[in-house]
Structure 1
């Protein structure tokens, strides 16, 4: 069959063999990639759709149970799909790396290497291994006209793989022989395949990278950063898709009117760095695009939502207010409160609201952030800070912390290395893991100060960082990759983070598939580190906002399944915060999060 295409039509006409869809969690990468794959198959192309996302919901979107081998998608002739399980791939990769050392090193050293290889860098390279194997498979290359990837390799992975000429020399001259993705000797065996893969990604006749974002300034800023990093690597064949644009006909719903205006503003102020690329928009749908027919409707001509049947928002799980949660936290006189979660879910706003309320209750509070994109001043405003004199703002600058840390490591480990070997070491030090460890050193100093007041942290270290630094206590000194010395405050802070009387973790998410599943994985990581979250905070929920716009009401009803899933996952408290059209700022604005009824009456 052939669809009449209204959205992404030019991409479908000019689609190269390989298409990568990337963007922050929750922007709609999977649904967009799936819709394109279905549309290409409907044009009589043979298509393979692959997900490399650890929190993949490709099965749910396509309506078929997938595995690690391609499976035909019912109802779409010519389309097959499968999931590359990054966690399983990473497990297999770790075993390949570690197995030569079993029996040669102590069990504690083996455990340390395994934990060091449990982070995001290892997952990236393991998934990339699978991708390379797919590119190298001559049978697959001859079988499919298009291979569509949901979640492309990150810039860090590609930078690392762009240094193959230096690896062999680095392996011979570096006594450690280890990078953020494991012993480099393991990578050396894949040099030829990696070179071919990177070359393919850079070839505009073979590959296009589709950057997906929401019609929001923060999402577009993140897209701009990603685009620039790819261009710097020679990957310039890019396209921009802004997903979830609301264009309400009836503006009597204040929230719908505000979101419509917000979307128009975002589209009219796309950063100049992105303006050179083809840009497409996809409307906000009343229902999540689940199933083949819904995916076809994403790109089909005509009204995207058709006639919306009236829906009733289901029952909401039992929750508590943010004010009640903070009152419980305030029963102590001091301690650490960490707001954790993926980017774009509203951690800065939630952390600021908690800090302002603690100060209003008479407690001295330090509010700090490790997020380079977070702007505490803009959230609190001058009014918010002056009105609550007990509140002090600070910032752990990731760039400064990393610069200091890298300088220390290069001073200790870089002397005597050749230029090419030093280039690999520097790239290793550019990995996300390095920044995590560097920021954690500064974070540990901040935590150490929370003995007589509250410290509220926006964007705390990840569960992987906690485990990595915990295992560093027992690192064999000949194995430690970067900095074998664990500062005293770091050694102490791990025990403090595990102490529920001292530390409280709140997981912030939104009621959508990817953010919820990523928060669930973060909870698993934290529990591995011996930390139990105190509460889940679901931000920007339509289910508890008073909306009348048919599209928003339908989406509110769709949230219920995820709220129930969160309720079953959450061992602590559950807080729901209603969606508002603009970020709440100042102490008066943030107070609306503590009083949901006021927020409903004043959606801004």
Structure 2
């Protein structure tokens, strides 16, 4: 397998880095951008992830506009902030009519554009416009997109075709786009976006994975689905391969990696493959990013092994039992192990004589790996296509009872909007929270940014449900009050003992405070410190963990726990 070196790789004008949360998409995309810029190229790096951590990686505040990165000539970066995009989108529609239409009409237009779908449409429009902007195309040699974790990246990359098809069939101006949103212009933009994504001479999908089964399976799923959407030019980057195993811990990691790579899904074996070896340092800041893809690495220096004396997950479980929590979420950055922690919580609660409903809101749905015959655990998955179909059928059934045929056709057209899927999924989420078939509901959430958008949009989602369905189910009415009730709800913030996951958990902590959503506990997951490894690379990483564990301890006011590293995600799910 070749070592990944961007300047020796066949790269196209547009590069999309995608993969499972935590595989190193942002690191790999950022290191690629710096490598190419150092070679004299003009490079634009864009994050389309609502939970983007580009600002942490570069230690620079970023906006949704291109900004030069200090210390790297020729490199510009931007974060597509969905909230800012939504504000600009609303103003682009409403602004031209201020002072022209009556105030009541302006208020009505703004209200129509405050629904649940506006944020998604706005963020998507910004992405599509950037992808098709001739000025951007001509200014930069390479345009690199760092995407959200796979499930949401798939949706974003498939949206150009979805919206293009919807607008081609929409002759009434229905849906959340509204009649004044420039439908003709959107058709042209989306058609060009589809053509750009599907042009193998222009665009490459860089599938980033860890040498682990879960990451490889998700990469294979993304490769298959995006190939079906027309994105056939794909390459595979395997990040974090361990070299020269020595002690028990490193031998276990090495053996697991080699086994999973040998059993790689057949579809991935057809792709050009590259590897990035595991590094002993946290890859943040320009200096480390510049170093990570270099063939020569600095010597690793370590101190004697450290001792781990931190509390484990049992401390959190004891408190959940004592306070009799009814709703428990695991939240955090993609790849921190939220699913594993959710399963562990469920098993430990059952051991304390609780019945548990275990569910997920993540499109990637890693709960699918977990199988149990325990009658005390009920498992549910949100099948996005099924809940969409059920929602459409339900709304149309009600509409046919009270509406004329022409009006039913209007509703049917509205329901074909890609936004309807978001509403249907949200309603399914509310129903899970409202269930009463178990003592406790444990919910494994999607990566941070998308979870926050979901929770922050409860009221606007309710408006959309009322607009399309005619009434708002009690589960949606009760949702936000239940989430804000500390007697019922607990959110366990799951992080890793590393720079970016901790910073992202800190932002999530502040967002939850502003939303007045109950949260107390933090879990530092996958700690190498407890393994007492003597492998130089792993030992160096273990020593780097201490500062971040201590930071979490301080922020959480001692409401924290640490779980040690596990070699194989799926094996953990199958055995705990």
Deviation at 1:336, TM superposition (A): 2.4
> Does structure 2 conserve the Cα–Cα contact (< 8 Å) formed by 1:59 and 1:65?
yes
CA distance in structure 2 between the partners assigned to 1:473 and 1:46 by the alignment: 45
Distance 1:125 1:493 in 2: 27
Out of 565, 568, 571, the residue aligned to residue 582 of structure 1 is 568
In 1, the alpha carbon distance for the partners of 2:411 and 2:440 equals 45
TM-score under structure 2 length normalisation: 0.82
1:326 and 1:575 map into 2 onto residues whose CA distance is 10
Deviation per residue, 1:533-568 (Å, 9 max, x gap): 121222112244422221112222333454455456
Give 1:358-369 correspondences, 5 Å limit.
358-369=349-360
State whether structure 2 residue 225 is matched by structure 1 residue 229. yes
Q: 1:408 to 1:78 in 2, by over 3 A?
A: same
Note closer, same or farther for the CA distance 1:262–1:430 as it changes in structure 2 (3 Å cut): farther
Query: 1:310 aligned to 271, 280, 302, which one?
Result: 302
Aligned equivalents of 2:108, 2:503: Cα separation in 1: 32
Q: Which residue of 1 aligns with 2:453?
A: 464
The answer to which of 514-523 and 213-222 deviates more is 514-523
User: d(CA) in 1 for partners of 2:546 and 2:469?
Assistant: 46
Q: Given the superposition, is the C-alpha separation of residues 117 and 475 from structure 1 closer, same or farther in structure 2, using an over 3 Å criterion?
A: closer
For residue 308 of structure 1, report the CA deviation from its aligned partner.
0.4
1:331 CA drift (Å): 2.0
Corresponding residue for 2:418? Answer: 428
Q: 1:276 aligns with which of 270, 273, 280?
A: 270
Q: 1:345 to 1:16 in 2, by over 3 A?
A: same
The answer as to whether partners of 1:90 and 1:126 remain within 8 angstroms in 2 is no
Task: Give the root-mean-square deviation of aligned CA atoms.
Answer: 4.0
Alignment partners' CA distance in 1, 2:26 and 2:432: 34
User: Deviations along 1:313-364, whole A, 9 cap, x unmatched?
Assistant: 8999x96532222222212456222323354332333223223333333344
Give the match for residue 380 of structure 2: 395
Match of 1:294 among 277, 288, 292: 288
- 1:194 corresponding residue in structure 2: 190
Gap regions ≥5 residues in structure 1: 591-604
> Is residue 2:536 matched to residue 1:550?
yes
Aligned residue number for residue 356 of structure 1: 347
| Count of aligned pairs | 561
Shift of 1:405: 2.1
Q: Distance between the aligned counterparts of 1:274 and 1:225, measured in 2?
A: 10
Look up the SS of the partner of 1:554 in the other structure. Answer: helix
**Is this contact kept in 1: 2:465–2:471, CA < 8 A?**
no
Match of residue 155 from structure 1: 154
Residue 441 of structure 1, CA deviation: 4.3
**What residue number does 2:103 align with?**
103
What per-residue deviation string (whole Å, max 9, x for no partner) do you get for residues 54-90 of structure 1? Answer: 4434344446665555455555454444444444233
Q: Please report how far the alpha carbon of residue 301 of structure 1 lies from its aligned counterpart in structure 2 after TM superposition.
A: 2.8
In 2, distance between residues paired with 1:279 and 1:588?
A: 29
1:209 lines up with 2:205 in the alignment = yes
Question: 2:551, 2:183 → 1: CA distance?
Answer: 40
Pairwise CA distance, 1:267: 1.8
Alignment partners' CA distance in 1, 2:165 and 2:418: 12
The range that moved more, 22-31 or 86-95, is 86-95
**How many angstroms does 1:395 deviate by?**
1.8
